Amino acid sequence: MIYRREVENPGLCIDVEAPARLHLGFLDLHGGLGRRFGSIGLTIDSLVTRLRAEKAAAITAHGPGADRALKYAHSFIKARGIEGGVHLNMEQIIPDHVGLGSGTQMALAVGTAIEQLYGGDSGSTSIARTLQRGTRSGIGIGAFEQGGFILDCGRGEVEGVPPVAVRLPFPTKWRALLLFDTRGQGLHGAKEVAAFSSLQEFPEQAAGRLCRLVMMQVLPGVLEERLQPVADAIGEIQQIVGDHFSPAQGGRFASPVISAALGWIKNQGFAGVGQSSWGPTGFVLVEDSAQAQWLEFGLKQHFGELSSFQCQQVSANNHGAHVNRLQAPIRLRQEKQAQ
């Protein structure tokens, strides 16, 4: 996370920009070794939650996602025993419930802004715990703190955010082409919890295969900047995990439209296709911007300009969230005091 600190004063504002992330798959849904889940993820650019926070007598918010931001602000201020309020100006948000980590990033952005306004120094893990985020995966917290490619080692006997075990810079020349289903959202909330509890036991042998793919293909491929082994492994991980979740989401991928588009992409010879978290957002990993543009053009030609999915090209974010402490102009402070 990038901080720029200044001496606190009555005109202090906190700007936070938190990046979206792709959840690329789980490692061990069996849990026989005492830890369960374990996740791999990629922090991405372009899609962000951005807000500005100022001290106020009450707790208020306006802009996109204001209602959700208010809930986090109320919870955080109450839990920390803060005497005072906050005004949140929500400038931009990550789309809700499409598999990009919108809830965790908004919670961390709101909590971090309030923490900074009131002179606290708690880290992202503590803020996430306060707002009950990251109970199943730590990659959202890792994305906020450092960005890049992230692996967490799952939830163990000790309650808390699954610790990040590996963080690597992801090659910035590589691209992910995202596919958004414009008609729906993925499972979340109570439905997500129910879906996890309804699944059959995950085979231990399959968990071993997932961990081997990550250790022997994904990690060295990222380190050596060789996309093919990364894409091959991510594609197989998505197949194994997607098939396990298919009873809960109606197929390997949640959206039939996205599933059809990803199938067409695979037929063009691209291996690194998948769905982020519960979706319905799909993705494909490609070598560069030119390949992403070629695929987007081909999708439009094959499915039509008016198809019910949209594409967006993104690259890796290797720095995490931006948190800036700003001094409001004297004139603006005087106008607010006059009000």
10, 83, 159, 281 from 139: Cα distances, Å: 35, 32, 16, 17
Q: What's the sign of the alpha-carbon dihedral 79, 140, 247, 307? A: positive
Per-residue pLDDT of the chain (339 residues; tens, 9 = 90+): 544 333 345 689 999 999 999 999 999 999 999 999 999 999 999 999 999 999 999 999 999 999 999 999 999 999 999 999 999 999 999 999 999 999 999 999 999 999 999 999 899 999 999 999 988 899 999 999 999 999 999 998 877 889 999 999 999 999 999 999 988 765 556 666 676 667 789 999 999 999 999 999 999 999 999 999 999 999 999 999 999 999 888 889 999 999 999 999 999 999 999 999 988 999 999 999 999 999 999 999 999 876 788 999 999 999 999 999 997 654 444 445 555
Can you state the angle between helices 189-198 and 227-249, rounded to 10 degrees? 90
Kindly report whether the peptide bond that precedes residue 280 is cis, defined as omega within 30 degrees of 0. yes
Round to whole Å and give the CA distance between 66 and 188.
19
Domain residue limits, the chain: 1-169+316-339, 171-315
Among 3.40.30.10, 3.30.420.40, 3.30.230.10, 3.40.1280.10, name the CATH number for the domain at 1-169+316-339: 3.30.230.10
pLDDT (0 to 100) of residue 332:
47
Cross-strand pairs, 51: 16, 90
Confirm or reject CATH 3.30.70.890 for domain 171-315, answering yes or no: yes
Round to whole Å and give the CA distance between 181 and 276.
12
Round to whole Å and give the CA distance between 337 and 339.
5
15, 160, 186 from 322: Cα distances, Å: 8, 24, 28
Residue 142 · residue 318 · CB < 8 Å: no
